[in-house]
Amino acid sequence: MGHLGALLFLLGGLGALANICEITEVDSTLVERLGQRLLPWMDRLSPEQLNPSIYVGLRLSSLQAGAKEAHYLHSLKLSYQQSLLRPASNKDDNDSEAKPSMGQLALYLLALRANCEFIGGRKGDRLVSQLKRFLEDEKRAIGHNHQGHPRTSYYQYSLGILALCVHQKRVHDSVVGKLLYAVEHKPHLLQDHVSVDTMAMAGMAFSCLELSNLNPKQRNRINLALKRVQEKILKAQTPEGYFGNVYSTPLALQLLMGSLRPSVELGTACLKAKAALQASLQHKTFQNPLMISQLLPVLNQKSYVDLISPDCQAPRALLEPALETPPQAKVPKFIDVLLKVSGISPSYRHSVSVPAGSSLEDILKNAQEHGRFRFRTQASLSGPFLTSVLGRKAGEREFWQVLRDPDTPLQQGIADYRPKDGETIELRLVGW
């Protein structure tokens, strides 16, 4: 029996033949270490660093941060209400840049619900109205004939619907209809790991609508769409066991764990994914706070859909800061990374020397500071992504793909991935 087989046996036990998606108990020490990585982020309370996803992930986990948790929620409330409800006449350019995105507003509403709060009152109603206007604007961008695209993404569109749903706020059938049509007729929604995230978020929005029955006229379409989403995510499972890749697997499992459509294929796929995730935990793969906050609920058999009726009295173990080993003075080591750009003319090829441990984003900045290389990024919920390289912006049906040598799509964000010495990084403009 190989390593994967042994893990499957240990994780599955008598449930190996189960046809539902369950998370059996994972080593509590590994879960605690994962939670400890969030604690330093809870001390970062500036508006640009506050992240509602951290609070949601902890509240849905088996862990708690004590008084720090309540202080973090208080900071979220102050920041979001001040920035989103400030009168337009008092805004300046700097305020506009610091204003949370609608995706972050949706996560903020999930954070309130994770504390068993229903949004209400004059301020709450204004925030709900802002999120509904965002969805209406995105609906218009998609168009009556469905030929357009959201100005942000279907991920944020789905997240907005889910956030309103867990607060029992109904959105118009036409808003839900745009997401249903995208799942039914747009195959590009499941081309890579990013789209597994999108499909999972859309599925959780549909699950909430199905359970809450907020759009009864769409009930049959929602039911069929959920079945389609589940099928697509199961087909996206890799030989290693991940859905898309390791970082998209937590959201996929959040959806699949709440599935009302059991099957042997579902149970087997989830056992395989859990084995792969446990191996990733042992190798400390998860470092990004957003990814950790999406995984912690899975390890507690919870999902964002559980915020319909959260259990705020459930016992949770208190997190203690990890013991730090004294740093040792080291002479900085430098590495060389070959940076290539393809898909445009002229192409680009240049070796960049940076300190060991530098992120790919650091390497791109270094190349920009010391040569003709130029790039631009756009912030997203999962970190910055490339929008322009060497002055060439990605078009409507194009994107800048990041590849590791040999020709392997990068699975982490540019702010998280740390290339090795001698590695080749290729930025390739591709269409879909």
Sign of CA dihedral 167, 125, 171, 249: negative
d(CA 258, CA 304): 10
Task: Name the 3-class secondary structure at 237.
Answer: strand
301 is an annotated ligand-binding site residue: no
**Annotation-wise, does 156 bind a ligand?**
yes
Q: Tell me the C-alpha distance between 208 and 40, whole Å.
A: 32
Residue pair 125/164 in contact (Cβ under 8 Å)? The answer is: no
Give CA separation, 42 vs 69, 70, 352, 426, 430, in Å.
8, 10, 34, 35, 38
Report the alpha-carbon distance of residue 29 to residue 13 in Å, rounded: 21
| Residue 421 labelled as part of a binding site | no
| 410 labelled binding-site residue | yes
Q: Is 343 exposed, middle or buried (0-12, 13-18, 19+ CB in 10 A)?
A: middle
432 assigned binding-site residue: yes
What is the largest distance, in Å, between two alpha-carbon atoms of the chain? 68
Whether 191 has a binding-site annotation, put simply, is: no
152 labeled part of a ligand binding site: yes
Q: Is 306 annotated as a binding residue?
A: no
Annotated ligand binding at 154? The verdict is yes
Helix (H, G, I), strand (E, B) or coil at 386: strand
Q: Which residues are annotated as a binding site?
A: 152-156, 197, 245, 294, 410, 432
Q: Which residues are annotated as a binding site for cyanocob(III)alamin?
A: 152-156, 197, 245, 294, 410, 432
